[in-house]
Amino acid sequence: MMNAEPREIERKQNIKYYKQTTYERDNKYNKFYKSKEWNKVRQLAIVRDHALCKDCLDKNTITPYNTVHHIKPIKEDWSKRLELKYKFKRWNKKRNKI
């Protein structure tokens, strides 16, 4: 078996470091997104909007969505993280356009 090239080893180390530091830095948010409270509000938002992408509906297109977003990121306003009226849905391909 051949040894990995030094660049590949460095790349893997950088990825590992990034994942560790990101998790440590965002631990509060990671825990929130795995919580029962978030899953409950997320499901309520899905039911409320019949699992349809809001942006697509505004353009008279019906597209199921798979992602629930906060209107204002929770890092900016933690207090609204569980308020249903501050949730909207988007089709996953639109996520990068937010």
What's the whole-number mean pLDDT along residues 58-78? 85
- Say whether pLDDT at 60 is over 70: yes
Dig out the tokens for 4 from the structure.
């990995």
Residue 61 located in a structural domain: yes
CA distance 84 to 43: 10
Residue 80 located in a structural domain: yes
Residue span of the structural domain in which 20 resides: 6-97
Residue 79 located in a structural domain: yes
What's the whole-number mean pLDDT along residues 13-39? 80
For residue 29, name the pLDDT band (cuts at 50, 70, 90). confident
* Interior angle at CA 82, CA 76 and CA 83, nearest 5: 90
Domains identified in the chain, total number:
1
Dig out the tokens for 11 from the structure.
């790349």
Q: Is the pTM of this model over 0.75?
A: no
- Contacts of residue 12, defined as CB under 8 A and 6 or more positions apart, other chains included, come to 4
What's the whole-number mean pLDDT along residues 59-80? 86
Residue 1 located in a structural domain: no
